[in-house]
């Protein structure tokens, strides 16, 4: 036998036993968004590398060390998308979706980051994200937070924590950056290597450092919120007041700056303490400058993204995933004649009863083998067609979940019988 080819590190598949969980989460999300006026957009997985450098920022973990970048056959530098926002904005600009319009969009799909693989941290992972364009007021942030908190409710997720901060306008941040750089420069010997590098290029991101040795220094740093003007704090306080009104619990975290460069005003993270170091489940905020930065006309943008793997891990931990759906019927057929009749009967049932779940035995097998498969399929009923049944125009029904119970009825009466049986079960 030839050597096996292994999967690429950090890029796990979703196996058949798990796909129902993914479909469950995705469909909850899809229904919630579609019914709230959001439309799906599907972006390419590959973009010009320049897009991510310009939007996410050169001095970020993602662009510095996590991107899958390569030259294509024409020598163009391309990158597998590490997140969805940049590509969504680029696509919206390219296709004239932003000019003088409001857009509420959502997307879902794989993202790629070359990170250290561990539980809840992969190199190919999946996000569901939302972006809204053309909304200047914080009501749109409120809508997003309400949507996410409703999603937690509908999924039955408990103990999600919402942390919020405001980054103000770019002018306010510029002022604050000077104050922050002054502060850090006075204590330069306490900075780690990453922070020294960021001091010149992106000092705000020092606040984002996860190095415990930096915690005290960061804890005593001047706070951005204290250096914002009335308009910015007013917006933020209004958002907080509305969250209070809707009884969405939050904490203000003045150190929260988010890893990406494009944010302004509102930033937030939904976290859990049940997934170890992989605590972030959903993150988002406002990024008004990005559209213009990517060559569009100045416009506003607000969005968030959540990690599906972490969401599903959490649902598993909290025992909140639904039982997989069982088939209603497994069709057992013995002989050519029975097979012919069987396929016709299955189609008749599917025509007559919406959403009925019928599995047809394929691959032959004797009675015992087929019943065994029927049982294993989880089906409620086995319908049985042998030579006798074919000749008499009847069909046998075996109750797979009730010991020994079996009846025989006319094929003509089958639809009525099954309809009743299913409505009893679901009703």
Residues interacting with ligand ATP, by CB under 6 A?
83, 113, 115, 120-122, 125, 127, 259, 278, 280-283, 305-307, 309-310
Residue 306 or 334 having the CB closest to ligand ATP: 306
Q: DSSP readout, 136-199?
A: -STHHHHHHHHHHHHHHHHHT----EEEEEE---HHHHHHHHHHHHHHHHHTGGG--HHHHHHH
Tokens for 321, please give them.
């995933």
Give least dist CB 58 to ligand ATP, A.
16
**Residue 115 or 192 having the CB closest to ligand ATP:** 115
Query: CB of residue 263 vs ligand ATP: minimum separation in angstroms?
Result: 10
Closest residue to ligand ATP, based on beta-carbon distance = 307
CA dist list (Å): 240 to 139, 306, 380: 11, 22, 51
Burial 158-196 (b: 16+ CB within 10 A, else e): eebebbbbbbbbeebbeebeebbeeebeeeeeebeebbe
User: Which two three-digit tokens encode residue 171?
Assistant: 């002018």
Nearer to ligand ATP by Cβ, of 127 and 166: the residue is 127
Owner of token pair 């004797």:
366
Q: What is the closest distance, in whole angstroms, from the C-beta atom of residue 404 to ligand ATP in the complex? A: 49
Instruction: Give the nearer residue to ligand ATP in terms of CB position, either 115 or 375.
Output: 115
Phi-psi region for residue 177, left (φ > 0), alpha (ψ -120 to 50) or beta? alpha
Shortest approach of ligand ATP to residue 23 CB, angstroms? 19
Q: How far is the CB of 32 from ligand ATP (least distance, A)?
A: 18
Structure tokens that stand for 274 in this block: 């049940």
Check if the beta carbon of residue 44 is closer than 8 Å to that of residue 79. no
Residue with smaller CB distance to ligand ATP, 244 or 316: 316
Minimum separation from the CB atom of position 113 to ligand ATP (A): 5
Is 280 or 356 the residue whose CB approaches ligand ATP more closely?
Answer: 280
């Amino acid at each position: 036998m030839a050597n096996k080819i292994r999967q690429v590190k950090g890029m796990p598949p979703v196996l058949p036993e798990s796909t129902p969980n993914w479909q469950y989460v995705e469909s909850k999300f899809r229904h919630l968004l579609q019914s709230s006026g959001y439309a799906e957009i599907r972006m390419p997985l590959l973009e010009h590398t320049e897009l991510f450098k310009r939007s996410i920022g050169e001095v970020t973990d993602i662009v510095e060390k996590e991107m899958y970048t390569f030259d294509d056959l024409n020598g163009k530098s391309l990158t597998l998308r590490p997140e969805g926002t940049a590509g969504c904005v680029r696509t919206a600009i390219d296709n004239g979706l932003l000019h003088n319009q409001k857009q509420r969009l959502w997307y879902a799909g794989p993202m790629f980051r070359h990170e250290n693989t561990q539980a809840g941290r992969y190199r190919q992972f999946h996000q569901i994200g939302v972006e809204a364009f053309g909304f200047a007021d914080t009501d749109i942030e409120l809508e997003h937070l309400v949507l996410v908190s409703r999603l937690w409710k509908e999924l039955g997720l408990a103990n999600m924590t919402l942390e919020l901060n405001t980054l103000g306008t770019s002018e306010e941040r510029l002022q604050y950056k000077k104050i922050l750089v002054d502060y850090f420069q006075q204590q330069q010997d306490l900075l780690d290597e990453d922070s020294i590098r960021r001091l010149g290029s992106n000092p705000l991101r020092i606040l984002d450092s996860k190095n415990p040795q930096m915690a005290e220094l960061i804890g005593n740093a001047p706070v951005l919120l204290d250096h914002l003007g009335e308009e910015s704090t007013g917006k933020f306080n209004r958002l907080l007041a509305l969250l209070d009104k809707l009884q969405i619990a939050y904490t203000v975290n003045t150190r929260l700056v988010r890893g990406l460069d494009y944010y302004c005003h509102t930033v937030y993270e939904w976290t859990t303490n049940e997934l170890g170091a992989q605590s972030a489940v959903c993150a988002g905020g406002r990024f008004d400058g990005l559209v213009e930065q990517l060559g569009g006309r100045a416009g506003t943008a607000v969005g968030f993204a959540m990690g599906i793997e972490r969401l599903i891990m959490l649902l598993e931990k909290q025992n909140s995933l639904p039982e997989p759906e069982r088939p209603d019927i497994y069709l057992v057929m013995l002989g050519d004649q029975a097979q012919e009749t069987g396929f016709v009967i299955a189609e008749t049932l599917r025509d007559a009863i919406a959403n009925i779940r019928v599995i047809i035995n394929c691959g032959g097998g004797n009675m015992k083998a087929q019943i065994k498969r029927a049982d294993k399929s989880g089906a409620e009923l086995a319908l049985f067609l042998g030579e006798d049944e074919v000749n008499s125009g009847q069909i046998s029904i075996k109750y797979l979940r009730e010991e020994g119970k079996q009846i025989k009825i006319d094929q003509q009466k089958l639809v009525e019988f099954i309809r009743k049986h299913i409505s009893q079960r679901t009703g």
